[in-house]
Amino acid sequence: MIRSALLLSLSLCLAPGCNGSDCNKLAGAVVTSFNLDFSRVAITKQLNGGTFTAMILEYINENVGDCAKEKKCPIPVKVVANAPVEPNTEHDLIKKGALLRVMPDMSQFQNLDKGFIKFDGLGGDIDGEFYGTFIDGSTINGDFCGGVIEVNN
């Protein structure tokens, strides 16, 4: 079982559409039901009037037509962690967050049964991980790294 999960994780990183970065990965049982190809990861710190409201992680697939120019690229995995979020602490996605898809075909994951995300920081270059188990028992997990972009509405 562990060997299968490791091989699945490795194959995702070597597959076309993977951004080539060793720190940005997706794995889990949902890969048999959903296309999780991505070309880059975006990490956003959302502010509203200067007040921290959420950390948003998006695995974005810019390899689809002219989506980058149109700013409507598929997002096979999006994780939202609503404030407060503390560095190096598991943030419960059931209580204060979400794990979803933003896709042209409107496909969605099952509802989460449990899930968490952890960031090693909230600004600059950071890394982290997330994990989710859906109500049907399928799982998804990911590692990420990159620079945080602050957006103030």
Predicted TM-score (pTM) of the model is 0.84
Q: What is the pLDDT of residues 51-63, one digit of tens each?
A: 999 999 999 999 8
Instruction: Look at residue 18 in the predicted model and tell me its pLDDT.
Output: 40
**CA separation for the pair 64, 11 (Å, rounded):** 21
Instruction: Look at residue 21 in the predicted model and tell me its pLDDT.
Output: 62
Instruction: Look at residue 145 in the predicted model and tell me its pLDDT.
Output: 98
Q: What is the pLDDT of residues 71-83, one digit of tens each?
A: 789 999 999 999 9
95, with CB counted inside 10 A (0-12, 13-18, 19+), is exposed
For the record, the structure tokens of 114 come out as: 């449990």
Q: In this prediction, what percent of the chain has a pLDDT beyond 90?
A: 72
For the record, the structure tokens of 129 come out as: 């991980």
Beta-ladder partners of 56? 44, 80
pLDDT-based confidence at 120, cuts 50/70/90?
Answer: very high
Instruction: Look at residue 105 in the predicted model and tell me its pLDDT.
Output: 87
Q: In this prediction, what percent of the chain has a pLDDT beyond 70?
A: 86
Domain range enclosing 19: 2-152
Instruction: Look at residue 7 in the predicted model and tell me its pLDDT.
Output: 33
For the record, the structure tokens of 19 come out as: 């951004």
The number of distinct structural domains making up the chain is: 1
Instruction: Look at residue 51 in the predicted model and tell me its pLDDT.
Output: 97
Q: What is the pLDDT of residues 92-116, one digit of tens each?
A: 999 999 999 999 888 899 999 999 9
Residue 9 has pLDDT above 80, yes or no: no
Q: Reduce the DSSP state of residue 95 to 3 states and report it.
A: helix
Q: Rounded mean pLDDT of 12-24?
A: 53
